[in-house]
Amino acid sequence: MSVVAPEPLSSSAFRRIFVDLANERSAPVPYPPGPNDFNVERTFRFVRDPLPILLPLYREHGSIFSMRVFHGRVVFMLGPEANHFMTVSNADKFHWRTGSMGDLVPLLGDGLLTVDGAYHRRARRIMLPAFHREKIAASYATMVEETEQALASWRERETLDVYHWARRLTLRVAMRALFGLDPDERGKGAQAAIEFERALSFYGTDFAVRIMRGPRTPWSRMLAARKALDRIVFAEIERRRRQPDPERTDVLSMLIEATDAEDGSRLSDREVRDQVMTLLFAGHDTSTSTISFMLYELARHPAVLAKLVDEQDRVLGDRTPTAAELMGGEALPELEMVLDETLRLYPAAWIGPRRAVETFEFGGHQVPANAYVYYSSWASHRLPDVWSEPEAFVPERFAPEAKAKLPKGAYIPFGGGSRTCIGMRFGQLEIKTIVTLLVQRYRLELVPGRTMTVRQMPTLSPREPLEMTVRERGVPAGLAA
């Protein structure tokens, strides 16, 4: 039985505003309590820094409340029980596509992030074999090669923007591991990377600018970049269908050949394109941010860094770790705990926007059908009634015995349930590879007087350049000067 593709979404921001307001007026039950006034100041504060708004509302109202953001009212559900309710036990009560995830359709198409129901289940079923442990390990050599090349140009006392450096590196890894393209080939790999970054920049602009349409707007520039990127990707798909190569291990090639275990169907060219584009968006941006935040926290906490270095020296010495050592947490537990704590404080996919399929009840309040309902891992990971000293960077809170005691839904950096990030293991291996190879050679110091603030769109990342100074390992800072 064939699965029907989802209906196209309107790209008109003004139509969406009209529909949202109409749905709110016709809501069958009242919204949960919370600020309901049209408040421009609160909206811009939320866009700039949502935690000082969400956390006080959690203290006032508990795990469920509502708030007007931009034009519409949004229900927020925070905390372990709420997270588990939305991602696992009652996930069928929510849609992704008609929530804010639908905003990604113009670039990503109908990929895993923007579809629901049977269409999502079929796509995930076909794609899962490409992310089995042994398939991910096949990309490890690419990760090591690209990282070593990226580190080769570093010099003692050099100051660099760590986020920009990591972004370029992870994009090169993605071009090779996901697309099987040479990032130095100007006609394909290099141009595809340029066009993707151009298109993605649209989602980093302010909401008021994103709703504009017409020539020379960010919207038109995004569409032009997407068309240029599509020409490269569709030509590559067509070429590989004509000339299949079973030796290729990149995800694009695997998806072209993949079949549905239930009915033997394959992904169409458009479906392959949409899924690979979604993987690039979900993986490249999130890995970049996590690497940057991890290096930032290690620079701020020399005792944590010392434990990590000691573990590397004992287990690895000067050799490159194996993929197996990095993919499990047993060989390098300090590294595993540092990554977990980084993802607690800075979950790249910081918010989970959904829309209620039906009216439901949670925490003593009803939520109307068609309401926007969001969970936020960023806010939930900083609740003082769940985490002791939630603002502190304490990797030991993820020691195996402590991690096992966490309540269900307390820690959700990759979502949960049937929609847990399909590329989670790939991303974790990439992050651990890059950070391990870097720490074996160098240490990074924060530039004095520089502070870091976080921006939210499209994923968590440093708002300003994250400048750090390179020091070779074993050279004391005072002597290196």
What does the pLDDT read at residue 475? 54
Rounded to an integer, what distance in angstroms lies between the CA atom of residue 46 and that of residue 115? 27
Contacts of 458 (CB under 8 A, 6+ apart): 200, 203, 204, 281, 285
* CATH top-level class of 13-121+133-162+285-480: mainly alpha
- Residue 384: asked if its preceding bond is cis (omega within 30°), the reply is no
Residue 68 forms beta bridges with which residues? Answer: 73
Give the pLDDT of residue 479.
43
The pLDDT score that the predictor gives to residue 481 is 39
Rounded to two decimals, the pTM is 0.94
Q: Which of 198, 182, 139 has the alpha carbon at shortest distance from 434?
A: 139
* pLDDT mean by block of 10 residues, the chain; 481 residues: 81 85 95 94 90 97 95 96 98 92 89 94 94 91 97 96 96 92 85 90 81 89 94 94 90 94 93 94 89 97 97 95 92 97 96 96 97 97 97 97 96 94 94 98 93 87 94 63 39
In this prediction, residue 186 carries a pLDDT of: 77
The CA distance from 140 to 122, in Å, is: 28
Rg for the chain, CA atoms, rounded = 23
Q: What would the two tokens of residue 157 be?
A: 């006392």
Kindly list the domain boundaries of the chain, sorted by start residue: 13-121+133-162+285-480
Distance CA 294, CA 150 (A): 18
* Cα separations in angstroms, 384 against 33, 55, 379, 380, 392: 22, 10, 10, 9, 11
Q: How far apart are CA 345 and CA 300, in angstroms?
A: 14
